[in-house]
Structures are given as structure tokens and as C-alpha cells.
Structure 1
Amino acid sequence: MPLAADQWYGLIGIAVAVAGLVRLVTVQDLVARLVSLNVMGVGSLLLLMAVASRGAEVDPLLSALVITGLVITVAFTGLGAVLIRRLEGPDGGEDELP
């Protein structure tokens, strides 16, 4: 029995989220961790869209939540990049006292 399109998207969403989680746990670099958090977010949004498209019609509420999640992801990615830059600093994260 072949899988429907929403089931495929659900499985792909789970796989992408798990891949991001594995990368988040195994890497030490802060930028790589930020990217892996973004990958996990994309996987969860893909899974949410798979749930939204299960019926004859696409649920508009879940679609709006996905669009809102994309906007929030962009904002927090920018915030995370600024925080990483502040933590690491121009000298590689070593703070020197005057």
C-alpha cells in the first residue's frame, strides 16, 4: 500500500528534525548549532504542514501557524547570530580585562 503525500511529508519532516537534533548534540561550534536548530525548526514546520493537509482541504489555521513560525525563525536566527558574535568576539571569545 503506497503512502499518501501527507504521510511522505510527515516522514520527511520527522527525518529532517531528527537529523537536526543529532547534529545539535554532536557538534561544538555555536554557528553549527544555530544551523541545526534551524534544520529542526524546518522539520517541525514540515510536519505541521503534513498534519494540516490530511483532509480534503488544507487547514488554514495550521498554515497560518507555519507562516508565523517562519517569521519567528528568521527573527531568532538573527538574534542567535548576534549573540554568537558577541560571545565569540573579534578575538575568538577570549575576553581581556584592561
Structure 2
Amino acid sequence: MSPVLLFWLAGSGLIGLSVYGLIVNPHPLCKLLALNLLGSGVFLLFGVIARRGASAGLGGDPVPQALVITGIVVAFSATAIAVALLLRLHSEAGEASIDEEEDGQP
């Protein structure tokens, strides 16, 4: 098994696991963690795409590498904003979950 195939399978597994976590878990913090896991899987797949050119004897493609670096910075800032919003929701409502039922009405 080549390292490229191993990283490709790992990235695909991370994406599949995170999509499952987004669908199944109702808690906002779990959804945020699953979304970060999804980003990590996509970044890994971009790294595999950038590596494919290098294995053919060419230099690594710099465009996917630049996208990964930019994506990491954006994902970090979006996670920080989401955590701040979850903390604010917890301080205002007393819990960090979003219930559809309010005042006994579905």
C-alpha cells in the first residue's frame, strides 16, 4: 500500500466520520468538532493532491498547499468565533444546546 493511498483513505475516513457526526449529534459543540474534523479531512486530501505532482517527478503543486494554509487559518478563526458564540449562549440560556421546544410547544 503506497503512502499516497494511505493518506487518501485516511482523509476519506475523516470526512465520512465527520459527516456522520454532523448528522447524528444534536449538541452544537459536537457539531463544531465534527466540522473541524471535516476540514482536517479536506486539508489532508488537498495535501494528497499536491503530492501527486511531486511523485511524477515534478515539484509539488503550490496551489493546494496555499489553499491548505489559508484554510487552516480560516478554520481556526471560525472555530474561535463559534466557541465564543457557544459560550455566550451558555451564559445567557444556562445551557449550550438549541432546543426546538419552547414553552411546551413542539
- TM-score normalised per structure 1: 0.84
Checking the alignment, whether the CA contact within 8 Å between 1:6 and 1:51 is kept in structure 2 is: no
Aligned residue number for residue 86 of structure 2: 84
C-alpha separation between the residues in 2 aligned to 1:59 and 1:41? Answer: 20
- CA distance in 2 between counterparts of 1:14 and 1:72 reads 21
Deviations 1:30-61 (A, max 9, x none): 11110010000000000111011002331111
The share of aligned pairs that are identical, in percent, is 30
Q: Structure 1 stretches (4+) deviating beyond 4 angstroms?
A: none
Residue 4 of structure 1 is matched in structure 2 by 2
| One of 11, 23, 30 as aligned partner of 1:32 | 30
Query: Which residue number corresponds to residue 44 of structure 1?
Result: 42
Please give the secondary structure, in 2, of the residue aligned with 1:54.
helix
Q: Supply the distance in 2 between the matched residues of 1:83 and 1:21 (Cα, whole angstroms).
A: 22
**RMSD after superposition:** 1.7
Q: Which residue does the alignment assign to 2:104? A: none
Can you give the 5+ residue segments of structure 2 that lack an aligned partner in the other structure?
Answer: 97-106
Question: Where does the alignment leave 5 or more consecutive residues of structure 1 unmatched?
Answer: 94-98
1:67 corresponds to: 69
Between the two proteins, the alignment pairs up a number of residues equal to 92
Among residues 14, 18, 21, which one is paired with 1:20 in the alignment?
A: 18
Structure 2: how far apart are the matches of 1:58 and 1:6? 13
Report the Cα offset of residue 11 of structure 1.
1.3
Q: Residues of 2 paired with 1:23 and 1:92: CA distance?
A: 20
